[in-house]
Structure 1
Amino acid sequence: MKKATDLKQEFDVTVTSATEGDQTSSLSNYNNTESIIRSHKLPRKLKWKIDLMIMPFFMITYFLQFLDKTLLNYAGIMGIKKHLHGNDFSNLGTIFYVSYIATEPFAAYIIQKVPAGKFLGFNIACWGIVVACHAATTSYAGLMIVRVLLGIFEAPVAPCLIIISSKWWTKPEQSRRTFFWYSQTGYAKFVGSVMSFGFQHVHNTSIASWQIMFMFMGILTFIVGILTFLLLPDNPLHCKFLKDDEKHDVIEHIKENQTGFEDRTYKFYQVKEMLLEPESWIMFFIIIFATTDGGGLNTFSSQIMKSFGFSSEISSLVQLPLGLVSILSTFFCCYVPSYTGERALWMAIVTVPTILGAGLYIGLPNTNKVGKLFGVYLLDFNGAFIASVYAWNAANTSGYTKKNARNAMTLIAFCIGNLIGPQIFQSKDAPDYIPAKIILVVFLACSFVGSILLRFVVIRENKRRDVLTADYTEEEKNKDVLMLDLTDRENLNFRYSY
């Protein structure tokens, strides 16, 4: 291990070189003349102004993203499966995430090169068109094509939201706002269930009810995409709704993050640094283990409900509580940790009711429909796990290229989990899907252990940094690195949230 004095010298050299190379003229206009960070709270009125300007776009975007990609779940009990055979339906759920994975690295690169808000709006509009196109095809090949395109255009959404958030709010504020936009998955489940129920009562039309549902949602999503492209600000500096003094206040406010601001130069060494960190790979496998149940549940929940003996219409309605479970789990994953500071611990905690739900679903006899149904509801408690990872990434990653790379790695792991999910529900195992249930329990237990391990690794790293910077002066501990594209490894003053 290097001596503290050696690392201190390296840090000083890094700061000096970064200042010379990464500083932008637009940001320097708002830079504080002081070289150290001081606490700067935003006026309450300005906080509300920013929230009302940005959060509606975040919330409606994530609402539509989740609802649009899970429309296939509702269409499964509305007649689309009569055009499919064997594992065709599972494959439609899988191919979406294959294209998602393939797109994610390219999306991460593009996000760094173009305004994130504009890129987000473009992709929303494009996936709206693709959703509407679902209604134009009933063949397996045609549905595979539109699912591939949907995965391509939805892939950049979460990374865009995370990157934009880091330019407006402090770490605790980002976590709380992640709760508000990610909890829209719960509201999407409410709306999706009711919408499916309603459209199943549409008869005497030349096209099927599921086709009408896809067309309606596609048009709505396209309109939202155009509005997002035109109105969502990328960062405080380019925001037309803020005065110059308000822009200055926001810049000063987010300096405490120690995560930098923005840099258009793609730095491959930051990607390498991220790939060599043990935390990256621990988190990667935790996400895979934790999201496998969501991959199966989001695609097969309607079929699971129907297997309990409910009609197609009632199968839609009994999914309503899944929305409430998603909102509650997001609250515990994102909102509570913003005050307690414990992120990894809550990641572990939310897997407990999920494991219990899997146990009920597996262990209870088919005659106990109420108990098995309750088990399915508890399974969805883990649905917000990825939201806690989004908040973790925003709080614990510095360096603009590294942020985008870590978000891409997160979404790739998320997709792998969701790829595995539908595939473990094989048609030959219907209606009980016993092998799938056993795999879910094992994976959830692994995610619990992984979360505890991650917490241990991060606490150990923070203690190591405390020792290395023990002889720093107050000024050295509070260096203003907002305009520098330092990674969390390069900035010894950075402390990880756990």
Structure 2
Amino acid sequence: MSVEKQSHNLTEKGSIEPEDIQLGTVVSTSGKMVNVHGDMKHMDQALGLALQTKDMSFTEEEDKKLLRKIDFALIPFVSFLYSLFYVDKASNGWAAVMGIRKDMHMVNDMFSWSGSAFYLGYLAFQPFASFSLQKFPLAKTFSVYMFSWAVIICLQATNVNYPAFIFLRTLLGCAEASASVFTTVLTSQYYKKKESFLRVSFWLATSGFGVFFGNMLAYGIATRADSFSIAPWKILFIVIGLISFVVAIILAFHIADDPSKAWFLNEKEKLMVVERIRENYQGFGNKVWKKHQFIEAMTDIKTYLFFIYAVAFNIPNSALASFGSILLSSDLGYSSTDSLLYGAPQGVVEFMCLPLIAYMIQRFNLPRLLSTAVVITITIAFACMLAFGKNHGTQLAGYYLLYLMQIGPIGSFSYFASNVPGHTKKITITSVYLVGYCVGSLIGPQTFVAKDSPNYVPAKIAIVVCVSVAAACFYGIYFLCLLENKSRDKKAAELGDQYVVPENIEFGDLTSNENIYFRYVL
């Protein structure tokens, strides 16, 4: 039977015979010999295709052609999608200087809570969002969430009632809780370990495009406020919501639940995708929640370092997302409309510089975790420029360059995509990170206290401290992975030639602890 026909039959049936799959025996990091077997539902979804690729070969040129095809089909769309994720949650920050605080009679710290409400919803719903993306078809489930948040954003323009607005902001956080998990799993399905860092940098850096696009959109609406029959901030919400709605429709038809269903790949290319990602020791994912993988994730010290990092990083990140325009207006003295205009270059710095840094790291084969830690360390200086600068020029430069700290999420999500085999473990660690993201994001807007206006000195000092903690966490993760790889090398050397890695063990849905031959990408 030809490769093409085999794959076609698999796609139609959705499973293969026999029901019980015997992959063989693998050595765990504890030295135990574990027999890997079970029915297809407990294996990685890519195993069905992997069993058909035994005699398959393809040239380097075919591999490069396939990679270009995947990049063209996924990266532009997913990048724009992720930029919308930033625009949607940051839209109330732009609305703040467009009159929403006055129209809703916000006083004292009421606006701060409009930022925190989003993350309360995100925090409460995140575990269910992650579980649903594992349990149900990936892309279809996420498209439902995106339809929901598009409707919610439009509804924000329907009232001037503060409690109703807070309620909608909370629902928006619930709807968007799935976005980062979706993009992380999608990346792991298509790309090798060494390729994921650069690709993650593309879609994460487009939050910088979102900053630029959102500021320009808000500026354009604000400068034409007299031309509208409704408040300009309402126009902003409606436009952003409609754009999100259109993207949700495209998503439902364009992105497949896994590469075996991708419309842009032929049958041979689907098998090639499986062979390409074999080195990751993970495939498309698994729909069965596994308790032992959850426990392994929750007893890994790196999980908690990522949690602490996420809290520390997102205190300044969310604070500046909600109060950046206000800071430019109240502290640096720009008018309400000019503060929107002067906020745009910050997005350009992020959008242009982060992929360039990621490319240099990949091009010269630099340790990605260590390089991420070094770049975050450098941004401490930019945080100090913003906090302690003696003139507005220095402070503005610090404000722009500080956003190079966004290299941190790139390092984090590429780690989850390439360094966490075992689908339940991957979902769990990513979820813990996102819980930390929510906690930090809840705290962040609260650091900007009304009584500290217009300079907000305590909030600026908090930014410096938090960026320093974030850098320390990444150094810790790097050294733990380095030591673990050395330990695995030593144990594997002791086994010598007496043990042969079973065929297709890469798609047994095993965790890093269950397979001594897995190595972390540093």
- After TM superposition, the score normalised by the length of structure 1 is 0.92
Match of 2:285, SS state, is coil
Q: CA, structure 1 residues 393+337, in 2 after alignment: closer, same or farther (shift >3 Å)?
A: farther
Partner of residue 351, structure 1? 376
Q: CA, structure 1 residues 277+125, in 2 after alignment: closer, same or farther (shift >3 Å)?
A: same
Deviation at 1:147, TM superposition (A): 0.5
- Within the alignment, does 1:31 sit opposite 2:51 as a pair? yes
Q: Distance in 1 between matches of 2:292 and 2:359?
A: 33
Match of 1:17, SS state, is strand
Partner of residue 5, structure 2? none
Q: Distance in 2 between matches of 1:24 and 1:343?
A: 27
Deviation at 1:38, TM superposition (A): 11
Matched to 2:452, the amino acid is D
1:200 pairs, out of 222, 225, 235, with 222
- Within the alignment, does 1:313 sit opposite 2:337 as a pair? yes
Answer with 38-47 or 450-459: which moved more: 38-47
Q: Distance in 2 between matches of 1:24 and 1:361?
A: 48
Contact kept in structure 2, 1:37 and 1:478, CA below 8 Å: no
Matched to 1:383, the amino acid is Q
2:423 pairs, out of 397, 400, 403, with 400
Matched to 1:496, the amino acid is Y
Contact kept in structure 2, 1:124 and 1:221, CA below 8 Å: yes
Deviation at 1:399, TM superposition (A): 0.5
Answer with 327-336 or 451-460: which moved more: 327-336
Partner of residue 350, structure 2? 326
Partner of residue 149, structure 1? 171
- Within the alignment, does 1:372 sit opposite 2:395 as a pair? yes
Deviation at 1:245, TM superposition (A): 1.2
Q: CA, structure 1 residues 341+404, in 2 after alignment: closer, same or farther (shift >3 Å)?
A: farther
Partner of residue 382, structure 1? 405
Q: Distance in 1 between matches of 2:149 and 2:475?
A: 37
Q: Distance in 2 between matches of 1:333 and 1:418?
A: 26
1:245 pairs, out of 243, 268, 282, with 268
Q: Which segments of 5 or more consecutive residues in structure 1 lack a partner in the other structure?
A: none
* Paired residues for 1:475-494 under 5 Å: 476-477=500-501, 479-494=503-518
Deviation at 1:439, TM superposition (A): 1.9
Match of 1:407, SS state, is helix
Identical positions, percent? 30
Partner of residue 106, structure 2? 84
Contact kept in structure 1, 2:26 and 2:501, CA below 8 Å: no
Q: CA, structure 1 residues 38+44, in 2 after alignment: closer, same or farther (shift >3 Å)?
A: closer
2:435 pairs, out of 409, 412, 419, with 412
Q: Distance in 1 between matches of 2:477 and 2:146?
A: 34
- Within the alignment, does 1:70 sit opposite 2:90 as a pair? yes
- Within the alignment, does 1:188 sit opposite 2:213 as a pair? no
Deviation at 1:417, TM superposition (A): 1.5
Q: Distance in 1 between matches of 2:260 and 2:459?
A: 50
Matched to 2:133, the amino acid is I
Partner of residue 128, structure 2? 106
RMSD over aligned Cα, in angstroms? Answer: 2.6
Deviation at 1:386, TM superposition (A): 1.4
Q: Distance in 2 between matches of 1:356 and 1:26?
A: 45
Deviation at 1:210, TM superposition (A): 0.9
- After TM superposition, the score normalised by the length of structure 2 is 0.88
Q: Distance in 2 between matches of 1:37 and 1:466?
A: 29
* Paired residues for 1:111-130 under 5 Å: 111-130=133-152
- Within the alignment, does 1:216 sit opposite 2:239 as a pair? yes
Match of 1:242, SS state, is coil
Q: Distance in 2 between matches of 1:20 and 1:145?
A: 43
Q: Distance in 2 between matches of 1:24 and 1:455?
A: 28
Deviation at 1:371, TM superposition (A): 1.3
Partner of residue 17, structure 1? 37
Match of 1:14, SS state, is strand
Q: Distance in 1 between matches of 2:58 and 2:126?
A: 37
Matched to 2:244, the amino acid is T
Answer with 332-341 or 129-138: which moved more: 332-341
- CA deviations over 1:79-138 (Å, ceiling 9, x no partner): 001131111110011111111111111111111111111112111111111111111121
Say how many residue pairs are matched: 492
Contact kept in structure 2, 1:353 and 1:378, CA below 8 Å: no
Q: Distance in 2 between matches of 1:387 and 1:434?
A: 29
- Within the alignment, does 1:361 sit opposite 2:386 as a pair? yes
- CA deviations over 1:306-331 (Å, ceiling 9, x no partner): 02111111111111210122125532
Answer with 305-314 or 320-329: which moved more: 320-329
Q: Distance in 2 between matches of 1:206 and 1:285?
A: 47
Contact kept in structure 1, 2:28 and 2:34, CA below 8 Å: no
Q: Distance in 1 between matches of 2:64 and 2:349?
A: 31
Q: CA, structure 1 residues 101+362, in 2 after alignment: closer, same or farther (shift >3 Å)?
A: same
Contact kept in structure 2, 1:425 and 1:436, CA below 8 Å: yes
Q: Distance in 1 between matches of 2:30 and 2:58?
A: 24
Match of 2:256, SS state, is coil
Q: CA, structure 1 residues 40+281, in 2 after alignment: closer, same or farther (shift >3 Å)?
A: farther
Answer with 379-388 or 107-116: which moved more: 379-388
- CA deviations over 1:193-241 (Å, ceiling 9, x no partner): 1111110122142211110111011111111101111221121211233
Match of 1:490, SS state, is coil
Matched to 1:28, the amino acid is G
